[in-house]
Amino acid sequence: MSQCKNHQHCIDTAISNALLACQEANVRLTPLREQLLKLIWKSHQPLGAYDLIEMLAEVSERCIAPPTVYRTLNFLLNVGLIHRINSLNAFIGCTDPSTRHPSYFLICTECQTATECHNDSLRQQVSHIGTQTGFRIQQQWLEVLGLCQNCQKL
Amino acid sequence: MSQCKNHQHCIDTAISNALLACQEANVRLTPLREQLLKLIWKSHQPLGAYDLIEMLAEVSERCIAPPTVYRTLNFLLNVGLIHRINSLNAFIGCTDPSTRHPSYFLICTECQTATECHNDSLRQQVSHIGTQTGFRIQQQWLEVLGLCQNCQKL
DNA sequence: AACATTTTCGTTATAATATAACACTATTGT
DNA sequence: ACAATAGTGTTATATTATAACGAAAATGTT
Ligand SMILES: [Zn+2]
Ligand SMILES: [Zn+2]
Ligand SMILES: [Zn+2]
Ligand SMILES: [Zn+2]
């Protein structure tokens, strides 16, 4: 939770964003989907699918098998409510699901905090590369590993 | 091989680059390592570890188990002779192992060709984000999925 | 050459991540 | 009430990756 003062606010915002996004997309935020999204938002650290399975088991007594979790994760990915961190096989909440955008993250190797990075110059630069090379961009991920400001001090 | 006229030249260059890089780093390019690197350079498409195991079996009659291949892949990664495409769990040859650089790729979803992208403006832009946010960058990957020029025509 | 040291490779077992296939239940629209 | 669709449960299995340990090869030193 390194970078937020009131993490409950992050969670609340995430859920209300999710409700809006689902309404917009005309899909349903079922209890399971909402519960998983809340678990993902428990921290600002990417979580693996099997971490989430364990968390679900603890929280709700229900033992949910991998296919169900992966289905739900894919739903959240498709609606744009979460991102996948490919270098970690892990998932993290999107801080702005209102508009589709590439997945750019700064990930601290010390505290594991992943910070989404909405940077238009960067986006334009990538887009420019596409134009230059005649490549029609469909999807993109940038994952930057390193030390966040906090962890450099330690 | 989409973007190259003479792919044998790509392979030859890769091997001589590898010899140089290993000399420079004072490490050995053993037969196994060289063989694996050549297999990776068979095409401009990222290959999975288990693809490579199959290819090794076909080429050399030797049946090499996963740990050996992963060890060798990690060696090649560490020396900077190959890159890992995280979104595909796959590996591809580096087009310029002479200097360490981030892993930026354009990957065609149709023909699977992955083109390494040495773009300084992009690199500076990412570096700038690091400076702005006080994040000390250690490693980075950009993976752009889409359609290459060739595949758009089809 | 003989030996110790280090590096590389082989082998077995297993961990971690992800999906296929099919059945059942809940929701929605008529 | 019914049919159609969407969501979830369940079993089995595929795919990707590593731990642990021992044998072999290369390297450096007497
Ligand atoms: Zn927070
Ligand atoms: Zn986002
Ligand atoms: Zn080529
Ligand atoms: Zn490279």
Domains annotated on chain A, with CATH: 7-153 (1.10.10.10)
Q: Which of B54, B14, B25, B37 is nearest to B91 (CA)?
A: B37
Measured between alpha carbons, how far is A121 from A127 in angstroms, rounded to an integer? 10
Q: What angle do CA B96, B113, B8 make, to 5 degrees?
A: 60
Query: What's the CA angle centered on B90, arms B87 and B93, to 5 degrees?
Result: 120
Q: What are phi and psi of B83, to 5 degrees?
A: -120, 160
Which residues are CB-contacts of A89 (< 8 A; sequence separation ≥ 6)?
A: A48, A49
For residue B133, give the 3-state DSSP assignment: helix
pTM for this prediction: 0.95
Residue type, A52: L
Q: Is B148 annotated as a binding residue?
A: yes
For residue B34, report the phi and psi dihedrals to the nearest 5 degrees.
Answer: -65, -40
Residues at the strand C interface (CB under 7 A)?
Answer: A 28, 48-50, 65-67, 70, 74, 89; B 27-28, 30-33, 62-68, 71-72, 75
Contact state of B147 with A135 under an 8 Å Cβ cutoff: yes
Taking the Cβ of residue B49 and every Cβ of chain A, the question of whether any pair is shorter than 8 Å is answered with no
Task: For residue B114, give every residue at least 6 positions away whose Cβ sits within 8 Å of its Cβ, in sequence order, or none.
Answer: B44, B45, B46, B85, B92, B105, B106, B107, B108
Q: What is the pLDDT along chain A (154 residues), one digit of tens a residue?
A: 556 889 999 999 999 999 999 999 999 999 999 999 999 999 999 999 999 999 999 988 779 999 999 999 999 999 999 999 999 999 999 999 999 999 999 999 999 999 999 999 999 999 999 999 999 999 999 999 999 999 998 7
Residue corresponding to tokens 């930026």: B104
Beta strands in chain A (DSSP E): 82-85, 90-93, 103-108, 114-116, 136-147
Round the CA-based radius of gyration of chain A to a whole number and report it.
16
User: E strand or H helix at B147, and its extent?
Assistant: strand B136-147
Question: Which A residues in the span 19-48 are in contact with B, Cβ-Cβ below 8 Å?
Answer: none
Q: What is the DSSP letter of B92?
A: E
pLDDT tens for B79-114 read 999 999 999 999 999 999 999 999 999 999 999 999
